[in-house]
Amino acid sequence: MSKAVGAVLTTHVIAGLVEDHRLTSELREFPENIDDTNGLIEVPAESLCEIICDAVATMIPAGATLDAVGVAMPGYVHQGVMLDAPNLPQLKGAQVCATLSAGLKRRGFDVKLSVFNDADAVAAGIAATRGQMNRQVRVWTIGNGIGFGRYPWTEGPWEGGHMVVTLDAKEKYCGCGGRGHLEGIMGYRAMRLRFLDMEPDEVFAAAKKGDKRCAEFVELWHRALAAATASMVHLEGPGRFYYTGRDIQRLELPRLKQYLYDAIKMSPLQNYIVEMLPEDPSLAVIGAGVAAMIESKC
C-alpha cells in the first residue's frame, strides 16, 4: 500500500498519514497550543518550514517506508517557489520546496516531496474520497482568503480568489492590493476592513434581521461568488463545482443558484451542478498526500 504524509498550512499546520486515498492516523495540529487569534501570520518563513518538517516527521511511524510527502499552502506556488501569498506575506519569494526538503533530510527522511496550493489539495481530496480520480473536480474554499482548486492539476496560477468581479473603484479591500477582486468582497480580512464596527458573523446575522446595509452586502457577497463561478463555466465549461471551507455556513445555495441562472444563458453551458460540503480539514490533508504520490511539484 502506498503511504504518504499530507500536511496543510493555514493558521496552523494540520498533518496526517495517508494510505490508498484514506487517512490511517488521527489528524494532528502543530504547533500545539497556538494562539488562535494570530495563528502563524507573524512567524518567519524559515520557521514555518521548520514547523511543517516537525509535523511531517512526527506523523511517520517508526521504521515505516514512505512514498511521498505532500505539503499544501495558501498562495501561488510554482516549481517549488512561493511566488506570492497575500495572506501569509512572509512566504513571498520563499524557496519552500528546497527548504522543506533540506529540513526533512536533517531529520533523516529523504523522500519525494511536493508542494501544492491548499485549494488544489482540497480538490484532490474530494476526488480521492469520492472515487472521482478520473474526473475534473473544481472547488471554491471560503475562509480567511478565497481559494479556487482544481483536480487534476494543470499548469497556471489559478488564483481564482483574485478574479475581478466588479469594476467599482471603491472595491479595494483585497489583501493583494488589487481592486474589484472576489476575495476583496468575500475574504474574512476584507469584510473586517469593510465593516469596521462589526465582525463578519455579526454582518450576516444582522442581514437576516433586516439590516439594509448588511443585507445589501450579503447580496453582493453571493453575486460575487456567482460571477466568479460563471466565469469559470464560460472559460472551462460546465460540470460540478464544490463549495467548502471554514466559513461555508454563510453560503445560501438557492440564492447562488439563482444568480448563476441569471449569468449563464448559453444552453451548452447550463448543465453545471453546485454542491456545498461541510468544512473538513481531512480533505486537504488526504489530497496533499494523494497528489504527492501521483506527481512531483518541486
What CATH number is associated with residue 166?
3.30.420.40
Based on the fold, state whether residues 145 and 253 are members of the same structural domain: yes
Yes or no: say if 290 and 124 are a contact pair by the CB < 8 Å rule: yes
Based on the fold, state whether residues 133 and 258 are members of the same structural domain: yes
| Domain around 200 | 124-276
Dist CA 228 CA 234 (whole Å): 10
Q: Which residue do the cell numbers 450579503 mark?
A: 218
Nearest to 241 by CA among 224, 253, 223: 253
Per-residue confidence (pLDDT) for residue 38, from 0 to 100: 63
Per-residue confidence (pLDDT) for residue 64, from 0 to 100: 82
pLDDT in tens, the chain (298 residues): 689 999 999 889 999 999 989 999 999 999 876 665 467 888 999 999 999 999 999 999 888 889 999 999 999 999 999 999 998 999 999 999 999 999 999 999 999 999 999 999 999 999 999 999 999 999 999 998 999 999 998 888 899 999 999 999 999 999 999 999 999 999 999 999 999 999 999 999 999 999 999 999 999 999 999 999 999 999 999 999 999 999 999 999 999 999 999 999 999 999 999 999 999 999 999 999 999 998 877 8
- Decide: pTM greater than 0.85: yes
Based on the fold, state whether residues 16 and 105 are members of the same structural domain: yes
Dist CA 15 CA 126 (whole Å): 17
Based on the fold, state whether residues 129 and 268 are members of the same structural domain: yes
Dist CA 220 CA 170 (whole Å): 14
As a residue count, the chain comes to 298
Based on the fold, state whether residues 270 and 128 are members of the same structural domain: yes
Based on the fold, state whether residues 134 and 61 are members of the same structural domain: no
Give the number of other Cβ atoms within 10 Å of residue 38's Cβ: 10
One-letter amino acid for residue 75 of the chain: G
Based on the fold, state whether residues 105 and 242 are members of the same structural domain: no
The three-class DSSP label of residue 233 is helix
Yes or no: say if 292 and 113 are a contact pair by the CB < 8 Å rule: yes
Nearest to 270 by CA among 236, 233, 229: 233
Per-residue confidence (pLDDT) for residue 36, from 0 to 100: 55
Q: Helices 212-236 and 200-208: crossing angle, nearest 10°?
A: 100
The structural domain count of the chain equals 2
Yes or no: say if 238 and 272 are a contact pair by the CB < 8 Å rule: yes
Phi, psi of 35, rounded to the nearest 5 degrees = -70, 110
Alpha helices, H only, the chain:
45-59, 96-106, 118-129, 183-186, 188-194, 200-208, 212-236, 253-263, 281-294
DSSP 164: B
Dist CA 138 CA 53 (whole Å): 29
| Torsion (CA) 152, 158, 160, 161 in degrees, nearest 10 | 110
Based on the fold, state whether residues 169 and 189 are members of the same structural domain: yes
DSSP 61: P
H or E element, residue 78: strand 76-78
Based on the fold, state whether residues 204 and 290 are members of the same structural domain: no
Based on the fold, state whether residues 130 and 73 are members of the same structural domain: no
